[in-house]
Amino acid sequence: STHEAPLLEVRNVERRFGALVAVNDVSFTVPAGQVFGIAGPNGSGKSTLFNVMTGIPFGPSGGKVLLEGREIQHLRAHEISRAGIARTFQKDAEFATLSAFENAYAGAVYCAGLSGVQARDEAAKALDDVGLGEERRDKAAGDLTVFERKQLMIASAIAGRPRILLLDEPAAGLTRPEVSALAELIRTVNGRGVTVLLIEHVLPLLLSVSQHLMILNHGSVIASGKPAEVVRDPQVVEAYLGK
Ligand code: ADP
Ligand code: MG
């Protein structure tokens, strides 16, 4: 057969917490090179979906995650990251007392298993890619501005040379001009060949960078398709207005 597996496939994934089904039979595929947007009301299972995909703290309670057709849902977090899936978190996750450079270096070491000169090179390249200038790289991460910390968060994730980057609400706390700068940054990273899954509340950002948009509500996919069409879907409008 000439059929090639998509870069990423999530198949019937489920995560239960006791009686709560936080992620309910979620399926989607992401072709290489895409920016795939994910939205939905608070508590709809978006972060949990990223957690089970990255094995944090463990994989799904049901279903499969396939990377180029290879099952990865049973792998541990560091193995998934070595396989090429990097992520950022909703909460600040940088080491505040380490310098920006050291944070990016830690990303290269942990995510890609690099060391020494190679890790330093990848860290420097990642900081270049996100536009975090030389003069700020020796600053403690905790002393950077809100936007610089976002740049650093993305640099630390891409310093591990991932094929797929999962971003969980990266625009939180940013001003409108900063959101535009973040959109540009996501396009730059994507332009360098990294496939992006983007969870975001800020719809203009999602609409400006995503080629595909999936909406979750109560753990289930209620719409998935072209962003401009999905946001007009009556079920989607109701899920948001109903909050
Ligand atoms: P979102 O990111 O869309 O706001 P989450 O994925 O964080 O939503 O949460 C989905 C649902 O799962 C919520 O009801 C949340 O309270 C619940 N949940 C998330 N993590 C846990 C956990 N570790 N234990 C119990 N319930 C959880
Ligand atoms: Mg969340």
- Closest CA to ligand 1's atom 24: 17
Percent of the chain with pLDDT over 70: 98
Tens digit of each residue's pLDDT (9 = 90 or more) over 16-59: 999 999 999 999 999 999 999 999 999 999 999 999 999 998 89
The ipTM of this complex is 0.99
CATH of the domain at 54: 3.40.50.300
Q: Is the pLDDT of residue 1 over 50?
A: no
**pLDDT band, very low/low/confident/very high, at 243 (cuts 50, 70, 90):** low
What average pLDDT score do residues 102-116 get? 90
What average pLDDT score do residues 105-123 get? 91
Atom of ligand 1 nearest to the CA of 216: 3
Per DSSP, helices labelled H in 69-173 are 77-83, 100-112, 116-130, 146-158
From 26-30, 90-94, 96-100, the region with the lowest mean pLDDT: 90-94
Query: Is the residue at 138 inside a domain?
Result: no
Give the number of domains in the chain.
1
Judged by its nearest atom, the ligand closest to the C-alpha of residue 239 is: 1
- Closest CA to ligand 1's atom 19: 48
Query: Is the residue at 149 inside a domain?
Result: no
Quote the ligand 1 centre to 43 CA distance (angstroms): 6
Q: Give the residue among 85, 64, 43, 188 at the shortest CA–CA distance from 127.
A: 188
Query: Is the residue at 90 inside a domain?
Result: no
Query: Is the residue at 41 inside a domain?
Result: yes
Q: Give the separation between CA 191 and CA 169, rounded to whole angstroms.
A: 20
